[in-house]
Structure 1
């Protein structure tokens, strides 16, 4: 099992799939999941000759369950170590939800020297939290309710998220996948309670506005207009306008998990973007 020992002794699990000599595409997963959430995209692009690399953020999946460091700056410093360890260059970075925040902060903090393009999928930037300067955001009470639900019964809360708003399985007539639900729940429960709890603050209160403005490479923003978790009007739409070279594609009726539900369409969009 490939593991990178980080500067503080924590171990970071990563996958390295596809053609070892191929152009590199990296994947950053959402909350509270793992690199497994990207398997459809990694398998597809790997079959097209790309080298696909994805990691489990610290506290998630098969990486060390650290007590401290469950914050965006630590996460992107970990990712920088992975890029250096694998000598990743000319990569396309892809991030979903909280992982889209990771991609954005990585590029804002560490620059674009090793990256040529990026893709944000249902991503949390610029800022999820409702503030005076961000009236389109979500009330803090919503995120407080997440924390309360975790403390009452994390297992049931994670099941409720997966059966409901994450995939839009709560929409009338929506086809429901029991397998997707079980996969989400399993990934979530494999994440440290402390990490999952701390990351509610991290994904909801981290402001990525300045990071977006700094990114000087092409960025494709993919977002469902029926995203119940990260509403389009407060995120994808605003991010595309803040990015110097942002390009937006809206998935009509799309959920927060378009890469899991609209698999063929997302794969085609990724392939077209990384090849161009």
Structure 2
């Protein structure tokens, strides 16, 4: 069921000047954001940006140091159990019981929520089909692939039929095929009306999954919008990537001042931001680069523009 019309703009999570400190360390530094019903909302940024600390506050398992946080209009400091009952949580690392079977992992979780045994069994069967694990229901968890374990962790989090699913770095450590299989499942969930909140440091993941996202760096939000809006605002339509034999690419940057709107010098390549990548490549021909690649701009370029560094440095 698609969400539109009344309730589509209902704010389920709202942070105002939200802050988290651990002693002298400020992990989350006064951020403002809101998550609306039915959308996929992302926190994008490098490790240590404050994404996981934010997620733990939204999950009502880590107290707010300062500022305000409301989830379903409730305060996690006083309504933690009521909030947690309406959330599904997929932590960064799978916390499955490897000694149990695939379906037993879901049964136990459902019983933990106090659901009747018959309801849990019925939901578990449907969720295992959804996670493409129906044929592995009676298998032990331990020998499953990383992608299967991740899908099982998501299926387990859905047994209580949560309104919001929190996903912390959902595809870290998975191979490309497993990541795409997982994205497909999450896309289907969103179409069913589940609100997704995720953290990631993968550009392609944020572009694939998020309707809206905030870019975080050093505990602060440096930009907010849809992937398309952010790319339009902070990058150009195309990017020319050049590699030269010299270790230092900086001396070549001057040649592109008039060709592109912006030039970035990275340790291993030169990025020319331009409307017409092929024209920029033609201008570079006599410089004899080792390689010249024209690509469309991505969220990686947005992050580089906003912070002066790449997400994976």
Give the TM-score normalised by the residue count of structure 1: 0.29
Give the TM-score normalised by the residue count of structure 2: 0.26
- Richer in strand (by share): 2
